Structure 1
Amino acid sequence: MLIALALPFAVAAEPALLQTEKHALNIETVARGLSHPWGLAFLPDGRLLVTERDGQLRYVTAGKLSAPISGLPPIAVGGQGGLLDVLLDKDFATNQKIYLSYAEPGADKASADTNSTAVLQATLAGDSIKDTKVLFSQQPKINSKYHFGGRLVQQADGNLFVTLGDRGSRREDVQPLSTHIGKVVRITNTGAAAAGNPFAAKADAKPELWSFGHRNIQGATLDNSGRLWTHEHGPQGGDEINITKAGLNYGWPLITYGEEYGGGVIGKTAAAGLEQPLHYWVPSIAPSGMEFYQGALFSGWKQSLLVGSLKFGQLVRLEIKDDKVSHEERIRIGSRIRDVKVHPDGSVYLLTDEDNGAILRITPMK
């Protein structure tokens, strides 16, 4: 494995050069001044749409941040909670619809003692959003600031995958199908359970469920065949990547390659009927954001899986062969990477999870 040369922690406004296995990279700062940016989308007019965890949604135009877009619902901000992912509808050019995942307060919205992950559909209308509708709300709501999951992926037919965490303290609710805790759900773009979900006919199961046995998924993407790939945080080791299939049990907390914080065994590493990860990391890299590279700029990265690392400040490039990781390259960026997105022009955009967070753009050195 090649560990690439480190980039200075303070990224300069001028492009910085970084040598990696396949390409020499230019890394430039597109914008700075964001408060823990979490999700990023590319608008057809060339602007960026970015979320900040503290509850702000902004445009980025030629490197400048807009004022916050108005019309957002109440958001429970604290710990790992707040405004999370943003996704443009596949027909955005005609309907201007977007989806937002966020920490939704409970009934007592003033104190936000309880919360859970929710998904909002809205119409983007200039400096505000309108026609807002909550499509999904994770149940049950609990008092926690952790493990919201929150990544959004849309299939070609318009259905949405939503990743959901175990909320940090409710691992006992991950295996039962009667909760949304530690699950991936699949819903229509109107909020109904999608047709063909694997547990729809099971009396004691939530009809939205797609898969279960997850700890905290913060990376999700589709491959060329339309299959869902996810990665999730393990406990002090055992971060893992899975091809996340309908009806399968991915094991948490019955199996894991991690351990209790401070030490201590959690379950086993394998058990019958529970899916083994396609790839896992010990120690943890704290993955967040993930996308297959299918652009034209980086010929050496074709079909690589790009993963952000919060813990080590890296972009991790995984080469995939026969649904296995055949090679891993770790590219040192120097800041916590929250999201990874491939622009239509083939460049790679990264969000840095900081008080003074940045949007970085990576291109090959000409």
Structure 2
Amino acid sequence: MRLPLAITALLVPVSALAQSFIVTSQDGVTIEATPVAEFDEPWAMTFLPDGELLVTEKPGNLLLVTQDGTKSEVSGVPEVAYAGQGGLGDVLIGPDFGTTGHVYISYAERGDDGLQGAAVARATLSRDGSEPALENLEVIWRQEPKVSGNGHYSHRLAFSPDGAHLFVTSGERQKQTPAQDMDSALGKIIRLNPDGSVPGDNPFQDAGDLAKSFWSVGHRNMLGIAFDGDGRLWTHEMGPRGGDEINLVEPGRNYGWPVVSYGVNYSGADIPDHPTRPEFEEPEAHWTPVISPAGLVIYSGDLFADWQGDAIIGGLSAQAIVQVDLGEQSDGTMARELRRFPMNARIREVEQGPDGAIWALEDRAGGRLLRIVPAGEG
């Protein structure tokens, strides 16, 4: 079993006036984080071409934010099922944003008899009026079936590098067995055309109508999805007690949940490890104790030149930003944790800014938006 690095690190204030602070990893690498704004349970963010950000708050608010922290509320957001892990989720601009203004959002929605499920909608971001607004909103995907409970929606979004397809992480809603059920979209990665229609070349064309939208199966709760510079798709997912994973996702593959895991059930009951069932895909790296990964970006900027191609992951229970090398390792896997930066707060989301800075959102009420650069370059 591959275990995480031992962590010893420092958190040192730089200037109380500037509110910036230095964070030092266990191997002595230093970054400088500057708070920009505070939010009510922030969940996700994306950059617009002009450098401003869209930030979601889980209770159901979408905000347009400048890089100096000025916020404007965006109207037109649909009602969300705000409870537990549910609420407003991811936000992503479309590959045609420059001509259409298309924005994609994910959220938890209510159904009949108290059941809930994730949904993805496409809208046009209008800035013609006094306040920004989502217009012509259309739901393009719904998680099937809706079920009871308020957990494991996942609903993270990513476009393929060519912009031709939208990928949606669909969690197993804490129900476990639907992840292996081809008549359920729970515990799957979904691949759609940008308008929500289903591509005819998805891998499960002969496994039922719903399965035609699946790209991969056997997942738990995936709160990070990103493509690397070589066009490979990566996701991470939370394990149960132990066994958080990062996976290199390939079409038509089965990643094993809940049949195998490097964790154990919350009851303490054992789950067989991946090598006992070679028909399931092995994670490229896994964590016990867990880091509770949330948010994922694969770095491509120049500001942290040595980090190009590395995965940057937010850690909720780890209260850290975790850097992972994505490349062939000596044990034949394709990922290895390099270092952690202890942030003294749950990190919900990470993104790369236009100038190569890393931006992070702290979790929960009062969560801050942080701009992160190499120490001394702030």
Pick the TM interval, shorter chain: over 0.9
CA distance in 2, matches of 1:35, 1:5: 28
What SS does structure 1 have at the residue aligned with 2:99?
Answer: helix
Query: How far 1:267 sits from its partner (Å)?
Result: 4.1
Counterpart for residue 360 of structure 2: 350
CA distance in 1, matches of 2:6, 2:111: 47
Structure 1 residue identity aligned to 2:119: A
Counterpart for residue 166 of structure 1: 172
Check conservation: 2:14, 2:22, Cα contact below 8 A.
Answer: no
Check conservation: 1:22, 1:301, Cα contact below 8 A.
Answer: no
- TM norm structure 1: 0.93
- After the TM superposition, which residues 200-239 of structure 1 pair with which residues of structure 2 at under 5 Å, given as runs? 200-203=205-208, 205-239=210-244
CA distance in 1, matches of 2:288, 2:197: 38
CA distance in 1, matches of 2:363, 2:137: 27
Counterpart for residue 282 of structure 1: 288
Counterpart for residue 44 of structure 1: 49
Counterpart for residue 17 of structure 1: 22
Counterpart for residue 99 of structure 2: 94
- More off after superposition, 323-332 vs 173-182: 323-332
- TM norm structure 2: 0.90
Check conservation: 2:13, 2:20, Cα contact below 8 A.
Answer: no
Check conservation: 2:256, 2:274, Cα contact below 8 A.
Answer: no
Structure 2 residue identity aligned to 1:27: A
CA distance in 2, matches of 1:193, 1:11: 52
Counterpart for residue 313 of structure 2: 307
1:183 to 188, 193, 217: 188
Query: How far 1:171 sits from its partner (Å)?
Result: 1.2
Query: How far 1:23 sits from its partner (Å)?
Result: 4.2
Counterpart for residue 7 of structure 2: 3
CA distance in 2, matches of 1:212, 1:11: 48
Q: Any idea what the Cα deviations from partners look like across 1:224-249, whole Å, max 9, x if unmatched? A: 12121000000010000101111100
Check conservation: 2:24, 2:342, Cα contact below 8 A.
Answer: no
CA distance in 2, matches of 1:8, 1:143: 44
Counterpart for residue 338 of structure 1: 348
CA distance in 1, matches of 2:152, 2:367: 21
Structure 2 residue identity aligned to 1:6: L
CA distance in 1, matches of 2:181, 2:143: 14
CA distance in 2, matches of 1:104, 1:261: 27
Structure 1: 4+ residue segments shifted above 4 A: 8-13
Distance 1:64 1:261, change over 3 A: same
1:26 and 2:36 are equivalent in the alignment: no
Query: How far 1:326 sits from its partner (Å)?
Result: 4.1
Gaps (5+ residues) in structure 2? none
CA distance in 2, matches of 1:174, 1:2: 33
In angstroms, what is the RMSD of aligned CA positions? 2.0
CA distance in 2, matches of 1:258, 1:63: 42
Distance 1:195 1:11, change over 3 A: farther
Query: How far 1:2 sits from its partner (Å)?
Result: 6.6
Query: How far 1:197 sits from its partner (Å)?
Result: 0.3
Q: Percent identity?
A: 38
CA distance in 2, matches of 1:11, 1:200: 58
Counterpart for residue 149 of structure 1: 154
What SS does structure 2 have at the residue aligned with 1:300?
Answer: helix
Gaps (5+ residues) in structure 1? none
Query: How far 1:251 sits from its partner (Å)?
Result: 0.1
Count matched residues: 360
Query: How far 1:60 sits from its partner (Å)?
Result: 1.2
1:130 to 135, 138, 142: 135
Query: How far 1:8 sits from its partner (Å)?
Result: 6.4
Counterpart for residue 194 of structure 1: 199
Check conservation: 1:70, 1:128, Cα contact below 8 A.
Answer: yes
Check conservation: 2:10, 2:24, Cα contact below 8 A.
Answer: no
CA distance in 1, matches of 2:112, 2:173: 18
Counterpart for residue 360 of structure 1: 370
Structure 2 residue identity aligned to 1:208: S
Q: Any idea what the Cα deviations from partners look like across 1:79-103, whole Å, max 9, x if unmatched? A: 0000000001112111110000110
